[in-house]
Structure 1
Amino acid sequence: MSESLYFIAVVPPGDIQEEITQLKHEIAEKYGSSHALKSPPHITLHMPFKWKEKRFNELANVMNKLNEDLTTFQVELKGFDFFEPRVVFVDVAENEKLNQLQKEVVNACRKELKLDNANFKDRPFHPHVTIGFRDLKKQMFYAARKKFENRALNYEFTVHRVELLKHDGFGWDVMIFDRIEG
């Protein structure tokens, strides 16, 4: 039975994606952590989950409903922060509408799809855009932290939709839902 790996996220517009991807390249080149380059810049709303391909329409229906119900709002990316001892990320300014959207995604996935792995290790939602992790060695993490902790960054964008990303065996790609009938 064929299964694929998916997750649900907010993906910034192309210009901001390009800028953040450059930061990912900087982390890869200077600190030896390239794992973050396997996905487009994003804010995870639901952690990766396996889904049977023969049930894809159920997943598509949930995604379409989430996007139909979504009221646009602004998100601010501001500065950098860290999860010791391996994660460097672009921080997301406190945002009640983003927090509410994440709860709606989690609730829809639990209720409609029977998924219950929404958050990483049952930690509370902490929105961020990862630029270095997993393959970032501790020593390099602290060097990157020193370099990024006082570095300025500020982007703002409008959230128009949530995206479904699918793993292709090498990295993550955004599914194009405008062409999918549920």
Structure 2
Amino acid sequence: MTTDLYLIALLPPEPLREHIRVLKEEMKDRFGSAHALKSPAHITLQPPFRLPSQEEGRLNAVLKRFAGSQGPFRVTLQGFDCFPPRVIFIRIEDHAPIIELVDRLRDHLTSQSLVETQGDDPPFHPHMTIATRDLKQPAFQRAWAQFKDRPFDASFEVHSIFLLRHQGQFWEIQGEFNFGVVS
């Protein structure tokens, strides 16, 4: 039985997604960190999980039902922050609506036996990564010195969640599930 690797996330609209991709390119060119380019700009809701390939249709149906019962909210991105020694990200101002969505989503996925909850998961901290994993310690120090006081201001309305599937080298958008559309 083959399994695929999935991720559930919020994605900003395309113009903002492209702006953040340019920041990831800067991280690659200036600091040697290219790993974040393997996925579109996103805020993770459900970390990567494996599911048998034949379950994707059921996962899509579950996500469509879940998203249909959710309402829109605004995400404001403000400046940069980090998880030393390897991660630099765009800071999200108000975590509450995202954390509430994550709690509802994870409860729903668990109740549908699609993911298992991990009791030892680190606390959820919504963020939008621009450098990760392959950012070496000396490069992290240089990059953080450049980004810690750099301005970044953007916001977007969240109207959907996205399912991404890992294609071996990168994450690809598999589906978008709109809020408030129940069928």
TM-score by length of 1: 0.93
Q: Deviations over 1:45-85 (max 9, x none)?
A: 01000110112222112210121011001000110000010
In the TM superposition, what whole-angstrom CA distance separates every residue of 1:144-163 from its partner, at most 9, and x where no partner exists?
00000000001110000111
Secondary structure, counterpart of 1:136 in structure 2: coil
Indicate the structure with greater helix content: 1
**Residue 114 of structure 1, CA deviation:** 4.3
- Please say if residues 41 and 130 of structure 1, whose CA atoms lie closer than 8 Å, have aligned partners that are also in contact: yes
Correspondence for 1:169: 168
Aligned residue identity for 2:148:
E
Q: Partner of 1:131: helix, strand, or coil?
A: strand
> Residues 128-167 of structure 1: matches in 2 within 5 Å?
128-167=127-166
- In structure 1, the residue matched to 2:38 is 38
Quick check: 1:10–1:43 contact (8 Å CA) kept in 2? yes
* 2:9 aligned partner, one-letter code: A
- Structure 1 counterpart of 2:19: 19
Q: Which residue number in structure 2 is paired with residue 48 of structure 1? A: 48
Q: Identity of paired residues, percent?
A: 36
TM-score (norm 2): 0.92
Residue matched to 1:73: 73
Aligned to 2:180: none
CA contact (8 A) 2:86 2:140 kept: yes
Q: CA deviation at 1:177?
A: 4.4
Query: Matched residue pairs, number?
Result: 178
Q: Which runs of 4+ in 1 moved over 4 A?
A: none
